Every structure is written in C-alpha cells, then in structure tokens.
C-alpha cells in the first residue's frame, strides 16, 4: 500500500484529517463572523451587500470557498464513518455506563452535535447562498450617497430590474449636489425579511448552541490530535477554544437573527 494511503487510512491519520479540516472550518467561522458583523451597520446594508459581491466574485475567495465546501463534506462524511467504525468496536453495549463520571458530555456527543450543524448548514445555504446565487427572489437596491453632505438613502429597484454585473457604481452631480450611486443585489433585505420568522430565528439560535458545544470540545481536541499537548500552550489553546470559539463566535452569530427579529 502506498504510504500516503496507509497513513490516512489508519485511525490516527483519519483523526488527523478530521482535526485539519475542523480547524480550517474554524478559521472560516472567524472570517464569516467578522464579515457578517457588517449586518449591524446602520447603512441599509450597503457595506454588507458590497461585501457579499466581493465574497462571491474575488477569485482567491472563490478558490478557498470550494476548498471550504469540500472540507465541510469531508469532515461530515469522515465523521459519520468514524462513528460507525467506533460503534462496531463495541458490539455489545454496557447495561450501565456512567460517562459523566469520566468525561464531558460534549466530547461524547460530537457526532450528534456535528449532525445538527450539518443540517443547519443545509438550511442556511438554502436560505441565503442558494437564493443569492440561483434564486429569483432577491431584488436590487440603489444606494445614493451625497458626497458632500455625507447622507445615504436607499431605494429598492423594480422587481423586474436586472443588471449584468452584480454591482454597478456611478458618480453623478446636479444642481443639488454630487452623488455616488451603487446598485447591488440586496442580500441584506433578504436577511432582514427571513429573520422576521420566529421559528427560523429560534432554529438559528439553537443551532448556534450546537456550534458552541461542538467547538467547546472540538477546538482543543484538534490540537491533541496534532500532538500538541503541553503545559506551556494548553492554557492558551483552552482559552481560545472556550472563550473565542464556543462563546464569542456562536454568540455573535446568534445575535444576528435576534437583531433583525427585534429590529
């Protein structure tokens, strides 16, 4: 057997890939969260919509996004395979097993939490990614900035309006002043409309708990799988894993649907 195949088909090698793809998905979450913070700006979504165009057109981001889709699928697929293999290692279950006595429940529920997250990703991509790329629901909005007075108005375009490029920008001036006009696909409005549904908001918030608990164990576990378990670094790894990845990130994401629901 080829040594690469051998390495990655061993139990340690498979865990290594799980850790590698898992941490890559963590870095994605950081970018996704920071980018989406623009939803909180009071600019009728100009910054967010411009950002959405950049994220779907910039070549490097496009390449990374395909790597990302592959990582999600691989992490999920490999995870299911490992769960199946691990179950096979104990064909007769214990009548009584006190897992709480020796381990944290999140570490024993990674498969379940991961499944919830996978289903969430499907719903989430249908809601926004699919609608943005292939749907016909999302219209265009024109943003008119007054360059001198520094004011901004937004004007939804007719539903039938369409343009070749995802974003069009023009400058024009008349007797009342100088203006910068941006016409862009209004994903922000789609977000605002979707998150008026209470059940969708509830679903998103609950799924962020799944993300929080998955990363509570997953982030530090990935370092252990890489062989990084050292008294000099464990404190930092646990701190980042718990406070950043299982508190700040999911809380920020959960704040977005809540913000639009109560807005």
Partner 1 sequence: MEKNLNLSLKVWRQKNAKDKGQFETYKVNDISTDMSFLEMFDVLNERLIVEGKEPIAFDHDCREGICGMCSMFINGRPHGPKQGITTCQLHMRSFNDGDTIVVEPWRASPFPVIKDLVVDRTAFDRIISAGGFISINTGNAQDANALPIPKDDADESFAAASCIGCGACVAACKNASAMLFVSAKVSQFALLPQGQPERKQRVMEMVAQMDSEGFGSCTNTGACSAECPKEISLTHIARMNRDYISAELSSAK
Where does this chain touch partner 1 (CB under 8 A) — which range of 62-70, 92-100, 156-164, 174-182?
A: 92-100
Q: Of the two residues 185 and 214, which places its CB atom closer to partner 1 in the complex?
A: 214
Is the CB of 185 or the CB of 217 nearer to partner 1?
217
Which tokens sit at 4?
């690469």
- Choose the stretch contacting partner 1; rule: CB under 8 A; options: 152-160, 205-213, 224-232, 235-243: 224-232
214 binds partner 1 (CB under 8 A): no
What tokens were used for 7? 């390495």
Of 260, 125, 126, 254, nearest to 202 by C-alpha is: 254
* Smallest gap from residue 206 Cβ to partner 1 (A): 23
For residues 94 and 47, is the Cβ–Cβ distance under 8 A?
A: no
Residue 89 binds partner 1 (CB under 8 A) = yes
- Do residues 109 and 221 make contact, with C-beta atoms less than 8 angstroms apart? no
Task: Give how many residues touch partner 1 by CB under 8 A.
Answer: 42
Distances (CA, A) of 166 to 44, 49, 50, 129, 237: 17, 10, 9, 14, 41
In the shown chain, the binding pattern of residues 10 to 49 toward partner 1, with x for contact by CB under 8 A and - for none, equals xxxxxxx---------------------------------
Q: Which of 31, 41, 70, 99 binds partner 1 (CB under 8 A)?
A: 99
- 5 touches partner 1 (CB under 8 A): no
Q: Which of 224, 236, 239, 243 binds partner 1 (CB under 8 A)?
A: 224
Which residue from 30, 61, 63, 85 is in contact with partner 1, where contact means CB under 8 A? Answer: 85
Decide whether 16 or 259 has the Cβ nearer to partner 1: 16
**Which residues inside 100-159 make contact with partner 1, applying CB under 8 A?**
101-104, 107-108, 110
147 closest CA partner among 174, 165, 184: 174
Count Cβ atoms within 10 A of the Cβ of residue 19 and give its class: 0-12 exposed, 13-18 middle, 19 or more buried: buried
Measured torsion, CA atoms of residues 5, 11, 14, 18, in degrees rounded to the nearest 10: -170
User: Which DSSP category does 229 fall into?
Assistant: -
Exposed / middle / buried, residue 95 (Cβ in 10 Å: 0-12, 13-18, 19+): exposed
CB 239 → partner 1: shortest distance, Å? 18
Answer for which of 2, 60, 66, 90 binds partner 1 (CB under 8 A) is 90
3-state SS, residue 145: strand
Judged by CB, which is closer to partner 1: 18, or 68?
A: 18
Q: How far, CA to CA in Å, does 139 sit from each of 5, 164, 184?
A: 48, 13, 9
Q: Which residues bind partner 1 (CB under 8 A)?
A: 3, 6-7, 10-16, 82, 85-86, 88-99, 101-104, 107-108, 110, 217, 220-221, 224-230
């Amino acid at each position: 057997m080829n040594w690469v195949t051998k390495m990655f088909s061993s139990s340690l090698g498979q865990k290594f890939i799980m850790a590698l793809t898992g941490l890559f998905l963590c870095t994605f979450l950081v970018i996704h969260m920071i980018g989406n913070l623009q939803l909180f700006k009071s600019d009728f979504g100009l910054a967010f919509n411009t950002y959405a165009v950049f994220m779907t057109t910039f070549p490097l981001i496009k390449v990374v996004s395909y790597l990302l889709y592959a990582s999600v699928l691989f992490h999920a697929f490999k995870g299911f395979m490992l769960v199946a293999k691990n179950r096979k290692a104990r064909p007769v279950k214990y009548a009584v097993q006190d897992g709480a006595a020796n381990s944290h429940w999140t570490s024993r529920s990674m498969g379940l939490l991961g499944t919830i997250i996978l289903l969430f990703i499907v719903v989430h991509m249908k809601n926004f990614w699919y609608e943005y790329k292939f749907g016909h629901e999302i219209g265009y909005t024109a943003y008119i900035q007054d360059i001198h007075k520094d004011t901004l108005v937004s004007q939804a375009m007719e539903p039938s309006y369409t343009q070749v490029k995802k974003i069009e920008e023009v400058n024009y001036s008349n007797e009342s002043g100088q203006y910068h006009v941006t016409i862009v696909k209004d994903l922000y409005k789609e977000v605002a409309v979707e998150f008026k549904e209470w059940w969708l908001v509830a679903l998103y918030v609950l799924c962020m708990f799944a993300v929080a608990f998955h990363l509570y164990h997953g982030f530090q576990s990935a370092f252990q799988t890489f062989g990084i378990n050292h008294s000099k670094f464990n404190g930092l790894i646990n701190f980042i894993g718990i406070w950043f990845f299982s508190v700040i990130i999911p809380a920020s994401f959960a704040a977005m649907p809540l913000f639009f629901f109560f807005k």
